[in-house]
Every structure is written in structure tokens, then in C-alpha cells.
Structure 1
């Protein structure tokens, strides 16, 4: 299929993106690594000895940062329906993170202990139909939140990519029902024209504690 004018523009922008170029120089798997690095610099989420589950981990940019920041101590588990090239110190599970078999594998890897931090940089495949894409994105947010509420310990944290749109405010309210602290982050590596932001929830409210 011949590339469209829009796709050519995207490819040109991507190639010239300073964060894409920086990721190549510094050995990160994606420009998304810099989003997590900046958020962690501010909120100090990645500490040695904690357990992290990275939802939608492929190609591995966030799992890579988590392992780097935590050193050799703690556990990093990446989950994705897509394959991911192996990363030293990262346990990768290919499958749906809501599938009972995958959740059981996560529990085994953690020794049946709770998770300290769930990361989600998930986004749906874009169809171009705005209402459908927004609904699909909101569905993914809810699925990731559902996983987090089941997996996190009482002091756990949940960082998720979301998009401004019809379902944004309702999801923020949902987060505030579940977590003691909820803040919004817009890292520099997130393009200005993008509607994406990151929500960070910390500390489960009593009714959600395991």
C-alpha cells in the first residue's frame, strides 16, 4: 500500500523527534522511556526491592527503566499480548493480563505477595473513528485499574496513560474513589499536540485494600 501524506508526515516527525534520537543514542527501546524517567524523577516510584508489573510492556521501554532504576533488587514483570525481546532482569509474560492463567503466573513470580507498583502505557490500535477509539481506550483504563485493585498492596501505586476526551473526567473520579492521592503528569516527552496525560494513584483507600 502506498504511504499516505499523513503517514509520511508521521514518519518524518518520528525520525526527527529528539526523544527518538536520544533513545537510540542512550540505548532505550522507545521514546516512552523518557516519560517514565521524568515522572520517576518527580515522584520517586522506582525503588530497590519493590515489585513492578508493567502492563502493555512491549517493546520494553518502561520495563527497561524500571529495572535500571531498581538495580538488581526487586522484581519487574512485563505483560503484553505482543511479543517482546528479552530484557535482562525482566520477567516477560505474553498474554492478556486479565486472563486467569497470566494472573496466576504473576502470582507465582511474586511468591503470592502483593504488587508495589503497576505501570500501564497501554493504548488501543487507532481506527480513526473517534467515538470508537475513545470507548476502547476507556475500556483499557478500566481493565488496567481492575488488575491493579486486585494485585496492589495497601500502599501500592498505579501509573496509567489516559487521554483527554469524553471519558477522562469520569475515570479521574474513579481513580479518586480508589486511591488516597491522585495526580496528573504531562512529561516533556509527551508531544504537546497529544491529548495523553498520565494519572498516578497512590495508597489504596480502605475498601479497596487487600
Structure 2
């Protein structure tokens, strides 16, 4: 039994949130959506830290991305749902692979995962994280999202900018053949960013997992087959010109 309140027909009853002094309309809507979200309830039952865990599970089922023994960097990892999923998939508890998770916020420990409270944009971040990873990464994954302003065009530009920064970071730490997975907004990987990624990776895919809310514009970009040091050499040459 799930413990959910159910009507005479056996269907779960929808939870309604009473208005509260000091709570904005948007926060009230968010809370009601959370309380009625089946993925939130399922995450609690199954021990995942967030509903986002199901997004990575579905992406991996489609792309066969997570393999035993991988070295993984998880950017913007809090509260840790993606690292939880990856740890199980790569055999971390059996001593296989390595995961380094970073965030500006603290994260409760996850068995086997190395956590650093830091900014991936710090100048020493690539070198520091590769040392913690004991080598180059096979996968850089990011479920980060810029704080929403409510202005569609501004939010679009902010998420594109964040993905560009994460992609630049990935180029510095990925091993040849490695992959980059990041949250984007629909239409948010067009133009220069997509052209750069196609030049540096063998294949680019877009995935919208079922766990992404239907009314959300988010989807995930998966770039596989990193071409290696040639990308870094090109960036260096451009900087010298």
C-alpha cells in the first residue's frame, strides 16, 4: 500500500493547498504541483533524493549512457539524485568507477561519491576535479538550471549561457570518446553552441524524459564521442590569435 488517500474508485485524491499568509501565488502553485506529482511521491518511496533521478534513469535506458567503471563529474549536483542513480549504475559500491559531485550548496553524503562544495567556473576547477577523479572524465553531466525570471527570452539566454559554460568545462576534463549531458530549454542549443558541439562531439541528441513535466520547456542534450584534445588545442590557438 502506498498510503495515499484514495476515492471510492481507488484513484488517488488530489491534494489541495490552502492559501497561507505570506505565501505567493506562484509558491502556492509550486507546492500544490509537488504534492500531486507522482514522481515526487515515487522518489520518496524508492529512496531517491529528487524526482530528477527518474530523468537520468530514463535517459540511460534510452542511450545506454552509464557503464560500470566510468569516471563521472556531476555539476550542480544538489540534492544528489543524479549521483545516486549513477553510483548504482557504474558499480560504485562494489569499488568500480568514480564519481565527483560539486555544487555551491552542501549535499548529504552519498556512499562512495566524492563531494566538493565549489564553483566549476573557478580557474583551478578542471585540474582540481581531475585529481579527485584520478584522471579524465568519461561523462560530465549537469542538471543545472539558471534561476527563472519569468521572462521567456531572458530565461532562454541564461540557460544557453549556462550550458555554454558547462560545455567549455567539459572540453577541458573529458577523455576522448567521453560524453556530455546537460539540461537545456527547447530551442536553446541552436546557433553557435550547437555548431561547436557538433564539431567537438560525434553525435548530438535531444531527449525529453517522461519525468520532465509536460508543461515544462526543459529537455536534455546528450553529446557523445568527444573528439579529444583537438578541441582544447583549437581553443588555445584562438586565444593566442
Give the TM-score of the pair, scaled to structure 1: 0.93
Alignment partner of 2:53 out of 33, 47, 66? 33
Alignment partner of 1:82 out of 90, 105, 121? 105
Question: Does residue 120 of structure 2 align to residue 97 of structure 1?
Answer: yes
Structure 2 distance, partners of 1:151, 1:201, is: 14
CA contact (8 A) 1:180 1:203 kept: yes
Instruction: Name the residue aligned to 1:169.
Output: 190
- Which runs of 5 or more structure 1 residues have no equivalent in the other structure? none
Alignment partner of 1:135 out of 141, 146, 157? 157
- Which runs of 5 or more structure 2 residues have no equivalent in the other structure? 1-20, 234-241
Structure 2 distance, partners of 1:45, 1:209, is: 24
Cα RMSD, aligned residues only: 1.7
CA contact (8 A) 1:121 1:161 kept: yes
Deviation at 1:175, TM superposition (A): 2.0
Structure 2 distance, partners of 1:193, 1:169, is: 21
Deviation at 1:42, TM superposition (A): 1.4
Alignment of 1:130-209 (within 5 A): 130-165=152-187, 167-170=188-191, 171-205=193-227, 207-208=230-231
Structure 1 distance, partners of 2:152, 2:210, is: 25
Question: Does residue 42 of structure 2 align to residue 22 of structure 1?
Answer: yes
Instruction: Name the residue aligned to 2:81.
Output: 61
Asked which structure has the greater RCO (Cα within 8 Å, sep 6+), the reply is 1
Deviation at 1:107, TM superposition (A): 1.9
Alignment partner of 2:145 out of 112, 117, 123? 123
Deviation at 1:54, TM superposition (A): 0.4
Structure 2 distance, partners of 1:23, 1:164, is: 25
Query: Where do 4+ consecutive residues of structure 1 move more than 3 Å?
Result: none
Please give the secondary structure, in 1, of the residue aligned with 2:124: helix
Deviation at 1:101, TM superposition (A): 3.4
Comparing 130-139 and 73-82, the one that deviates more: 130-139
Please give the secondary structure, in 2, of the residue aligned with 1:168: coil
Structure 2 distance, partners of 1:79, 1:115, is: 14
Deviation at 1:193, TM superposition (A): 1.0
Deviation at 1:209, TM superposition (A): 6.9
The alignment covers a number of residue pairs equal to 208
Deviation at 1:83, TM superposition (A): 1.2
Deviation at 1:160, TM superposition (A): 0.7
